[in-house]
Amino acid sequence: MIALQTAAQVQEWTGHDTQLLVVAALGIALIVVLIAKLKLHPFLALVLGSAFVGLASGVELGKVITNFEDGVGGVLKEVGLLIALGAMLGKLLADSGGANRVVDTLLAKASGNKLVWMITLVAVIIGLPMFFEIGLVLLLPVIVLVTQRSKMKLMRIAIPALAGLSVLHGLVPPHPGPLIAISAVKAELGTTLGLGILVAIPTVIICGPLFSRLAARWVPVDAPAVAGGIDTQHTTDLSEVKRQPSFVVTLLTIIFPVVLMLLKALGGIIWPNPDTAPAIRIFFDFVGQPLVAMTLAVLVAIVTFGYAVGFTGSRITAKLGESLGPIAAILLIVGAGGGFKQTLIGAGVGDAVKKWAEGANMSVLVLGFIVAVALRLATGSATVATVTAAGIVAPLASSLSPTHAALLALAIGAGSLFLSHVNDAGFWLVKELFGLTVGQTFKTWSVMETLISVVGFGFVMLLSLVL
């Protein structure tokens, strides 16, 4: 065992640190009670929960407000615009008949268990270069329509897709979390990528298709009436459509932003030094930015799912406008979730967890995982958990082999996915898009994320024994 710091360097635990963790737990409990028992709107519940945590933890009044506002702004500037663009793309995909085309093609080639595995494969492919939130809004119409056509329960199709997106996002570069951990512990990108894929494949299988059987029994719900701004319970009116897009055109339009982001990632691998990189890498870096890629995807969809199928310019504009109204509540709730997260961080909850970790004395892989888990539970942010945990264990990484440094980065990534709950904006995104209750979201999404974390870390430890 390697001690993280000497006794003189370890900060002493205080009563205020204990108070912060108790307040954080009470704040989370308050939000759950307000929503589940008192049926208060989640947005207001998150606002009240944030106010309680800020005031009870002793944060000055002005900072209570600014912390919440900063958290809302931080989430919406990253996720809010992408949700809006994804809703536009999804609306055009559905109203042009493109989503129907994809579903018909999938159902013609697979059914039952084969369909579940096919959805998993599609999610993994899309999740390789794409942020979780973007992949989810892109796949949402397909998930819902496949559920309806196949007569299967929603969770049987949704969980494999969510698992594919989440595992890739947390464990495999070029996603931000793994890259942050790789940089902090000085691991090799190629080694971490290879080991990350080895860990990701069995983790996706166990936590996706296999776990979906249990999730569908625990929460046997059907497709929601409205998903991501799209009315899914009524047959799409295709009377305006003169010619439906082909399967190939539809698929190419859907994966267009994926390709752009993948090119950005490949450019960074091929030309790691931006100062000496050719102009093409600068171009790839620009078009591969999520906001740019999704904007270009909507413009492409206006052609392939709009003009090409017979819609007039005014009808396309109307459909784009119609897609935004239903997501207003989703944006507010996701933003408030980010506000609650930042309130916890601003109150010092993350620092309290870090202080505890600095006094720990255990295996570096276990330490990295546990610290990431604690920070994920406390703050709700996988990024904060990854950054802080990697910073804490970084001094120990210098004594590790390249292989074990890569495994340490993966252990931190696995811990950062543990138990998504009410202080995670992703929790509210899944809840609202799939029309679930708080309890149903805990039984499906939260359990799945916990399973991914534990199973992924288990495979990391197995690799550490043989490599």
Q: How many structural domains comprise the chain?
A: 1
Which of 53, 70, 62, 49 is CA-nearest to residue 350? Answer: 53
- Confidence band of 410 (pLDDT split at 50, 70, 90): very high
Q: 459 is in which domain, residue-wise?
A: 15-466
Amino acid identity, position 110: A
Does residue 155 lie within any of the structural domains?
yes
> Bridge partners of 3?
361
Residues 297 and 318: their CA atoms lie apart, in Å, by 18
Burial class (CB in 10 A: 0-12, 13-18, 19+), 118: middle
Q: Which residues of 120-152 are buried (b: 16+ CB within 10 A; e: fewer)?
A: bebbbbbbbbbbbbbbbbbbbbbbbbbbbbbeb
pLDDT value of residue 75: 74
Contact partners, residue 22, CB within 8 Å, separation at least 6 = none
- Confidence band of 463 (pLDDT split at 50, 70, 90): very high
* pLDDT exceeds 50 at position 378: yes
Does residue 122 lie within any of the structural domains?
yes
Does residue 38 lie within any of the structural domains?
yes
Residues 324 and 89: their CA atoms lie apart, in Å, by 11
Is the Cβ–Cβ distance between 416 and 386 less than 8 Å? yes
* pLDDT exceeds 90 at position 204: yes
Does residue 131 lie within any of the structural domains?
yes
pLDDT value of residue 203: 96
Q: List, for residues 324-370, the tens digit of each pLDDT value.
A: 877 787 788 778 877 877 887 788 876 776 676 666 666 788 888 98
Does residue 7 lie within any of the structural domains?
no
Whose tokens are 């989640």? That residue is 42
pLDDT value of residue 8: 40
pLDDT value of residue 350: 67
Residues 350 and 384: their CA atoms lie apart, in Å, by 8
Does residue 10 lie within any of the structural domains?
no
Q: List, for residues 39-87, the tens digit of each pLDDT value.
A: 788 788 888 988 998 888 888 888 888 988 988 888 787 677 877 887 7
* pLDDT exceeds 90 at position 447: yes
Is the Cβ–Cβ distance between 292 and 85 less than 8 Å? no
Q: Which two tokens stand for residue 226?
A: 């409205």
Contact partners, residue 158, CB within 8 Å, separation at least 6 = 143, 147, 212, 434, 444
* pLDDT exceeds 90 at position 150: no
How crowded is residue 313: how many other Cβ atoms within 10 Å of its Cβ?
A: 10
* pLDDT exceeds 60 at position 228: no
Does residue 8 lie within any of the structural domains?
no
Between CA 260 and CA 194, with CA 279 as vertex, the angle to 5 degrees is 50
Does residue 343 lie within any of the structural domains?
yes
Higher pLDDT, 303 or 224: 303
Q: List, for residues 14-39, the tens digit of each pLDDT value.
A: 777 788 878 888 887 887 788 767 87
Residues 103 and 23: their CA atoms lie apart, in Å, by 47
Average pLDDT over residues 143-147: 85
Instruction: Annotate 95-122 with DSSP letters as a single string.
Output: HTTHHHHHHHHHHHH--THHHHHHHHHH
Contact partners, residue 171, CB within 8 Å, separation at least 6 = 178, 196, 199, 200, 203, 410, 413, 414, 456
Higher pLDDT, 9 or 277: 277
Write phi, then psi, for 288 (nearest 5 degrees): -90, -5
Is the Cβ–Cβ distance between 129 and 265 less than 8 Å? yes
In degrees to the nearest 10, what's the CA dihedral of 189, 194, 199, 200?
Answer: 90
pLDDT value of residue 461: 94
H or E element, residue 341: helix 328-347
pTM (global) more than 0.75 = no
Contact partners, residue 127, CB within 8 Å, separation at least 6 = 135, 164, 165, 166, 167, 168, 169
